[in-house]
Amino acid sequence: MRRTTLLMLTAAVLGGGAPVGAQDVEIFNTVLEKIRRGEQVVGGTIDTPDPDIYCAAANAGFDFMWIEMQHSPLSYTQVADMIWACRDAPAIPFIRIPAPTEGDIQKATDIGALGIIVPMVDSMDEIRDAVTYAHYPPMGKRSQGGGQYGAIWGRNYRQAANENIMVVAMIEQPEGVDIIDQVANLEGVDVVFVASSDLSSFTGRRQGDPQYEALVTRVRDTTLAAGKAVGGPLGWMTSREGYSFFQGPSAQALIRTGGRVTLEEADPCRFLPPGTAPVPGEDPCEE
């Protein structure tokens, strides 16, 4: 993994309370770097335990891997094996945890995740807990236990972890929109993600409906005003302004797309009816 260094001032209160000293804090979360530069980032979605599939996706050009543990039977042992198998891949491991419990977040960070995606945020207690358990003291209450994080991210992981761990708050319900100002301005929240399908499910409104769009706009505008990144589905990358963090297709969808593209390149007429030209002006497909 490519690593850079960010000079961070550290304060220690001595006598008159003057801040003294400085330390170099390693920034190895390339997703964080890219967002700070104003770039867009995309994550491929993984819900299968096969390390080979994980590695194929992690080396395909995605900025991060969205490891799906809320809506899959994946275990932390399986996910640990996947992350370890492709520990040198450029895509940063992010995990959508089942719930913001201390146990879930401790396991996710211990196995090397640098992103904690928190689903169904509809109360401040949930997102505060996520921030607290994802960070070491003094920022949070993460326990310094065992895990493979040090072997993946280096000997100085403990000193640099708080500056590299990202917390993504997913807004999926109207109740989440109601508290968006507090969520977006909470220290430790890096991204607010608009869960488009769930927001539609919970409201009974589709994209384009004025009430639906009002909720989406409120989340986006409030989050940007707080200086945080806004996330959404990959389809919004070119159709909506202000978004920089996207969930990409699943491994299954990528395999289907890759297979179809491969077959079409081998035989442009494979999926076309007879008499149709693959490209205007070319010979039509034969009967």
- Cite the active site residues: 71
Phi, psi at residue 267, to the nearest 5°?
-145, 95
* Residues facing 22 on adjacent strands: 9
244 with 39: CB under 8 angstroms?
Answer: yes
* SS3 (DSSP) at 139: coil
Other CB atoms within 10 A of residue 220 CB: 22
Give the residues across from 64 on adjacent strands.
Answer: 43, 92
Q: Are 74 and 96 in contact (CB under 8 A)?
A: no
- What are the start-end ranges of the H helices in the chain? 30-36, 51-58, 76-85, 102-110, 124-134, 149-153, 157-164, 174-178, 180-184, 196-203, 210-225, 251-266
DSSP per-residue string spanning 214-256 = HHHHHHHHHHHHTT-EEEEEGGGTTTSTT--EEEEEEHHHHHH
97 vs 167: CA distance, rounded Å:
11
Q: Kindly provide the b/e burial profile for residues 23-50, where b requires at least 16 CB atoms within 10 angstroms of the residue's own CB.
A: eebbbbbbbbbbbeeeeebbbbbbbbbe
